[in-house]
Amino acid sequence: MGEDGVIILFDLDGTLIDSTEAILESFHTSLDLHGFGGVSDEQIKALIGYPLDIMFAKIGVESEKVWSAVDAYREHYRPISTQKTVLLEGASEAVKLASSFAELGVVTTKTALYSRELMEHFLLMDYFKTLVGKEDVTNPKPHPEPILKALEAFKTQDKQIYMIGDTKLDLLSAKSAGVKGLGVLSGYGSRSSLEEHTDIIFDNALDAVRYLNMM
């Protein structure tokens, strides 16, 4: 496949990066401030991929406190994000290989500002033509809007378009947008949850990109 004919969109958390430590620390800090101690790491990790306000609401934070909790999370998260986030194994290679035969974008529920800072920190941002984050859309994944928004940066006619992600939210968004979804097991979604929405599942993003490169 040539670069003129392929577009690959990547999710971030659990697909290219592991920011679990920063996410959990920021959640617990915010929850403690708002009187919600005792929430387990597993409860939080099960919700990663949803927007922050939905995550806090699902954990049980009252609606009138949700945005205060989000603000406290962000205040704690930003200064620690680069120090406590790492690239997943093979992620850098995946992006560089993908860029050799496709145009690339990022579609994340993470704040775009933080996402760009992280990608710049890892020296990968220049490989991406666009990055769509939470504040860029009205309806986050699993709605198709984030993917459709990202695709506005590309000429899509006659292109093969793929979305690589680690949760069902990525795959549902892809399906609704008319894009082929590829699941990866490097993040927060279980194999069974991914299998409900795609029959193409890999251990990680590098394996997914290698598969696309061979097509």
Q: Tell me the domain boundaries of the chain.
A: 3-18+86-214, 20-80
Full DSSP string of 9-55 = EE--BTTTEE-HHHHHHHHHHHHHHTT-TT--HHHHHTTBTB-HHHH
User: Could you give the C-alpha distances from 160 to 2, 75, 205, in angstroms and in order?
Assistant: 10, 39, 17
Is residue 203 flagged as an active site residue? Answer: no
Per-residue pLDDT of the chain (215 residues), as tens digits, is 345 699 999 999 999 999 999 999 999 999 999 998 889 999 999 998 888 999 999 999 999 999 999 999 999 998 998 999 999 999 999 999 999 999 999 999 999 998 999 999 999 999 999 999 999 999 999 999 999 999 999 999 999 999 999 999 999 999 999 999 999 999 999 999 999 999 999 999 999 999 999 98
Residue 106 is inside which H or E element, if any? strand 103-107
Q: Give the domain 20-80 fold.
A: DNA polymerase; domain 1 (1.10.150)
Give me the catalytic one of 4, 11, 13, 170.
11
Q: Is residue 99 within 8 Å of 124, Cβ to Cβ?
A: no
CATH classification code of 3-18+86-214:
3.40.50.1000
